[in-house]
């Protein structure tokens, strides 16, 4: 499967950050080994001059290699910090990790004339698990497998090294466990651990890739779906949104008055700027009140406030939005009049009730939609603003859901209307604005955000 370029870039960045971390660990390992070596051999009695020469060379080799390893770690860390560390540099650095302990053991053999059967006697060899663990940090099973192959092959070569001049093998139980077969078993067990680590690296990378892919899918979906659906998308996935659900919600419609006449006197550029500014102002209020801007229909817009377990909060948010929209239109109208342009007015209608919501459309063009009588009723209430000469018309159902008294200010219109397909009359409340100073006397409907 071909990976998207963004995913490849994320993996590369993760590998480079891991290499910087490995660089720090190299420096710590080199410093710890140097300290341990110094404490282990300091003030030790030397039986003869030959032994003293061997020990002196061992000091030189050990501190020289640990200094070089510390320098390698520093280069990796500084390279990442300075920005010149490249992804291909991880491979020679991984090679150096393996060579560090393999060459350290070989140099020790040459210095002491011990054969390969004594490979696992040297402390340097026990850096192998540390080097293998470095591979796990890199999120790259290929690097992990490469390190494993170098480690196992290098150890197999080391245990085959013959003894140097002057070595005298010893008999006894210890010699049995230092012979070739037990060493082969040690290498085999280490090779088994390598296989497990490589599989762990493969699984880790797969899980990371899956997480990145799912995150990318969710990000792509948010380009089509409202941001407020992110929690539902994360909880149930797209299939859950496609199935839809019945629930209660507040639905609001806004429509500009006299837009047809206004647009006839505009150039194409002026009309585009006007529509953009109108939608921007509507979107600002919808976002501030946590409403789902369902759709624009020319100069009209539909905003939904879902009941997420707190219906009063959703209903109050809808009322906040209604007044906020009228305030935006009033501010915009005043600014236009100051420029000698025609004033603006809008009607807002809102209702509370049951709706069916869900995601419809093909994968490349998803759309979140609301259906049901509540939507139709809210649209009719927006039309009622014209008949009642009101700026805002809401149903008493919405006011009850918001915990508001329909008889309390600022509502100065009380009416009812019979809607097609509905039994009985719907009780309405309206408000004659313009609301230059906001909605006077309205019980606080804040706390909706």
Q: What is the pLDDT of residues 56-111, one digit of tens each?
A: 776 677 778 888 889 999 999 999 999 898 988 989 999 999 998 898 888 888 88
Q: What is the C-alpha separation between 442 and 449, in angstroms, rounded?
A: 18
Q: What is the C-alpha separation between 186 and 158, in angstroms, rounded?
A: 13
- 157-192 pLDDT per residue, tens: 999 888 877 677 666 666 777 778 888 998 999 899
How long is the chain? 449
Please indicate whether residue 374 or residue 215 has the higher confidence score (pLDDT): 374
Candidate ranges 31-35, 50-54, 210-214, 418-422; pick with highest mean pLDDT:
31-35
Closest CA to 147 of 201, 86, 82: 201
**Which pLDDT does position 173 carry in this prediction?**
65
* pLDDT over 60 (residue 145): yes
**Which pLDDT does position 46 carry in this prediction?**
53
* pLDDT over 60 (residue 124): yes
Tokens, residue 362? 């093909």
**266 with 274: CB under 8 angstroms?**
yes
Give CA separation, 338 vs 78, 132, 334, 344, 364, in Å.
60, 73, 6, 12, 44
* pLDDT over 80 (residue 433): no
Q: What is the C-alpha separation between 100 and 90, in angstroms, rounded?
A: 15
**Which pLDDT does position 275 carry in this prediction?**
93
Mean pLDDT of the chain: 82
Q: Break the chain into its structural domains and give their ranges.
A: 5-220, 231-431
**CA dihedral sign, ordered 141, 144, 146, 149:** negative
- 259-292 pLDDT per residue, tens: 888 888 889 999 999 999 999 999 999 999 999 8
**Which pLDDT does position 188 carry in this prediction?**
92
For 387-401, what is the mean pLDDT? Answer: 94
Please indicate whether residue 397 or residue 442 has the higher confidence score (pLDDT): 397
Please indicate whether residue 282 or residue 369 has the higher confidence score (pLDDT): 282
**Which pLDDT does position 447 carry in this prediction?**
39
Global pTM reads: 0.54
**Which pLDDT does position 181 carry in this prediction?**
84
* CATH entry 3.30.70.1230 includes domain 231-431: yes
For 344, what's the count of Cα atoms within 13 Å in the CB-facing half-sphere?
A: 28
Closest CA to 429 of 319, 294, 310: 319
């Amino acid at each position: 499967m071909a990976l998207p370029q963004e995913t490849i870039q994320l993996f590369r960045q993760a590998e480079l950050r891991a290499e910087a971390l490995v660089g720090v660990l190299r420096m710590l390992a080199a410093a710890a080994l140097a300290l341990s070596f110094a404490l282990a051999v300091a003030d030790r009695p030397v039986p003869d001059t030959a032994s003293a020469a061997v020990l002196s060379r061992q000091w030189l080799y050990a501190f020289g290699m640990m200094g070089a390893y510390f320098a390698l770690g520093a280069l990796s860390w500084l390279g990442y910090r300075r920005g010149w560390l490249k992804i291909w540099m991880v491979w020679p650095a991984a090679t150096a990790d393996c060579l560090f302990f393999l060459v350290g053991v070989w140099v020790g053999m040459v210095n002491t004339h011990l054969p390969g059967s004594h490979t696992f006697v040297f402390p340097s060899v026990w850096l192998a698990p540390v080097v293998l663990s470095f591979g796990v940090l890199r999120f790259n099973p290929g690097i992990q497998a490469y390190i494993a192959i170098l480690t196992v092959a290098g150890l197999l070569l080391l245990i085959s090294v013959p003894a140097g001049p002057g070595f005298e093998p010893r008999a006894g139980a210890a010699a049995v466990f230092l012979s070739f077969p037990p060493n082969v078993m040690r290498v085999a067990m280490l090779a088994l651990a390598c296989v497990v680590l490589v599989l762990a690296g493969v699984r880790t990378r797969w899980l990371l890739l899956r997480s990145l892919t799912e995150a990318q899918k969710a990000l792509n979906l948010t380009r089509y779906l409202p941001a407020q659906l992110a929690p539902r998308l994360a909880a149930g996935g797209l299939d859950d949104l496609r199935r839809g659900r019945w629930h209660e919600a507040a639905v609001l419609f806004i429509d500009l008055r006299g837009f047809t006449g206004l647009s006839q006197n505009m150039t194409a550029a002026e009309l585009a700027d006007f529509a953009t500014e109108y939608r921007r102002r509507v979107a600002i209020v919808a976002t501030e009140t946590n409403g789902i801007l369902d759709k624009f229909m020319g100069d009209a817009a539909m905003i939904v406030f879902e009941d997420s377990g707190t219906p009063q909060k959703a209903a109050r948010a809808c009322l906040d939005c209604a007044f906020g929209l009228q305030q935006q239109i009033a501010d915009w109208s005043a600014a236009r009049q100051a420029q000698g342009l025609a004033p603006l007015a809008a009607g807002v209608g809102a209702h509370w009730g049951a709706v069916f919501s869900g995601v419809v459309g093909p994968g490349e063009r998803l759309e979140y939609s609301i259906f049901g009588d509540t939507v139709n009723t809210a649209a009719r209430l927006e039309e009622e603003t014209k008949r009642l000469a009101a700026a805002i018309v809401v149903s008493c159902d919405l006011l009850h859901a918001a915990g508001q008294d329909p008889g309390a200010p600022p509502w100065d219109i009380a009416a009812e209307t019979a809607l097609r397909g509905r039994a009985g009359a719907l009780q309405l409340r309206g408000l004659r604005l313009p609301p230059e100073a906001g909605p006077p006397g309205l019980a606080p409907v804040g706390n909706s955000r």
